[in-house]
Amino acid sequence: MGNNIYVGNLSYNSDDATLRELFSRHGAVIKAQVVMDRETGRSRGFGFVEMENNSAAQAAIQALNGAEVDGRSLKVNEAKPREPREQRRW
């Protein structure tokens, strides 16, 4: 189990501070980031949280997966490593 957590189905009003506050109830948060759209500057509805240790990450996943926050049911699980992207050639 890794310390990195994927958080999906976030309210578009959520920001980094909201995510940090939500997860800090379950352990020390190293980093919390809501992914933003480059063009609109609006949340894309998902984010990532890095917890201090595996037990805190597991506790947060168990407690928050399916929890309702701002009228939305969160999808919370271990973040998968990012797949390498194919480089575009113009």
For residue range 25-69, list pLDDT tens digits in order.
Answer: 999 999 999 999 999 989 999 999 999 999 999 999 999 999 999
Residue 17 CA: distances (Å) to CA of 21, 34, 35, 62, 81: 6, 9, 13, 21, 24
Give the C-alpha separation, 82 to 80, whole Å.
Answer: 6
Q: For the chain, give the mean pLDDT.
A: 92
Domains and their CATH numbers in the chain: 4-77 (3.30.70.330)
**Residue 71 predicted with pLDDT over 90:** yes
pTM above 0.75, yes or no: yes
**Residue 89 predicted with pLDDT over 50:** yes
**Phi-psi category of residue 30: left, alpha or beta, with phi > 0 → left and psi -120 to 50 → alpha:** alpha
